[in-house]
Amino acid sequence: MQINLTEILQLTGIQKNIPIDIEMETFNIAEQDYLIVEKNPFDLIITNMGDKELQIEGEFTIKLVLICDRCMGETPYEMNVSFIKNVNMNDTEESRVKDLNEMSYISGYTLDVEELIYDEMVIHFPMKVLCKDDCKGICNKCGANLNTTDCGCDTTQIDPRMAKILDIFNNSKEV
């Protein structure tokens, strides 16, 4: 959804509430697509603070299907995102890049709401995803999901520094 900001910039102090329906069906990050299973409409509030400065704020909830980092199983993840952005429309594209203020969601006097939502989702995306706090993960030997089955693989781990000593004991007949 594109919003023309020209009308809002003309009157200082004006505040505009715009109902937003999230249009994206998938969320792509790090070359991985995640399915969006639930998204709720929200109100985007744009306020003219004066001198071509805008405040853009909103709050939305979105539910994705992510992959657990331990067991590789699908798990639902609810993202609650709240944001307030202050935008100075006097800044040029070059000065925004120079100040590392990358606002890819504003082009000229147009606000790209989907790009703004995407940027906020990237910021709120979890570093580590677990299906549950005590997820057991997968077996290192056979790849079975240890949350659903006990594979029976030998899971004893020998300290590699002691492996040679163990070989001596296994090869010796007297010990």
In this structure, the number of other CB atoms found within 10 A of the CB of residue 106 comes to: 20
Rounded CA Rg of the chain: 26
Q: How many residues does the chain have?
A: 175
What is the residue extent of each domain of the chain? Answer: 2-124, 138-175
Residue type, 140: N
Cβ-based burial of 8 (10 A; exposed 0-12, middle 13-18, buried ≥19): buried
Listed residue (104, 101, 107) closest to 86, CA to CA = 101
Question: Which pLDDT tens digits describe the chain residue by residue (175 residues)?
Answer: 898 888 888 888 889 999 999 999 999 988 889 999 999 999 999 999 888 889 999 999 999 999 999 999 999 999 999 999 988 887 766 666 555 556 778 888 888 999 999 999 999 999 999 999 999 999 888 888 888 888 888 777 777 787 778 778 777 766 4
Find tokens 């010990």 and name the residue. 175
Q: What is the DSSP string of 43-86?
A: EEEEEEEETTEEEEEEEEEEEEEEE-TTT--EEEEEEEEEEEEE
